């Protein structure tokens, strides 16, 4: 299973079919930085996560950030995004950081919806 954020980013890179070099360019990071994310020696900041979700709108923000649900967003028959409906509680010492992350995810989802509506 893909438990760490770095492992999930690696899976997205493989899913994209791009080389590590091309994938890192597509999300606006250096290749060495991508390797550090992949091996867990560095965590991506929120702008990198936003870049991934903006560049690859098929990727579920919940899956990327929390490892919940499926990697690729499935659409139901009405064209709405089908995502897990679990409730997440903000408890613990990292609530402010989690809240910032969720705001970034919200922005990425808004971008996804805007692009979907333009089609």
Full set of structural domains in the chain with CATH: 5-118 (1.10.260.40)
Closest by CA to 72, choosing from 51, 3, 80, 64, is 64
Rounded-to-10 torsion of CA 107, 50, 95, 63: 100
Write down the residue that tokens 């560049």 correspond to.
55
**Per residue in 93-102, is it b (16+ CB within 10 Å) or e — as a string?**
eeeeeeeebe
Query: Lowest-pLDDT range, 8-22, 66-80, 82-96, 102-116?
Result: 82-96
Contacts of 59 (CB under 8 A, 6+ apart): 12, 52, 53, 71, 72, 73
Q: Average of pLDDT values for 18-37?
A: 94
- The predicted model scores a pTM of 0.64
Residue 2: band (very low, low, confident or very high) from pLDDT cuts 50, 70, 90: low
Query: Lowest-pLDDT range, 7-16, 56-65, 90-99?
Result: 90-99
Which residue has better confidence, 109 or 31? 31
Give residue 62's pLDDT.
Answer: 87
């Amino acid at each position: 299973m893909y438990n760490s954020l770095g492992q999930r980013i690696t899976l997205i890179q493989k899913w994209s079919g791009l080389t590590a070099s091309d994938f890192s360019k597509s999300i606006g990071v250096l290749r060495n930085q991508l390797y550090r994310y992949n091996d867990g020696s560095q965590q991506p900041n929120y702008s990198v996560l936003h870049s991934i979700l903006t560049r690859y709108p098929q990727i579920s923000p919940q899956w990327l950030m929390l490892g919940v649900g499926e990697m690729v967003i499935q659409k139901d028959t009405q064209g709405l995004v089908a995502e897990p409906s679990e409730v997440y509680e903000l408890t613990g010492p990292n609530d402010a950081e989690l809240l910032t992350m969720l705001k970034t995810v919200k922005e990425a989802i808004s971008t996804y919806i805007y692009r979907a509506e333009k089609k």
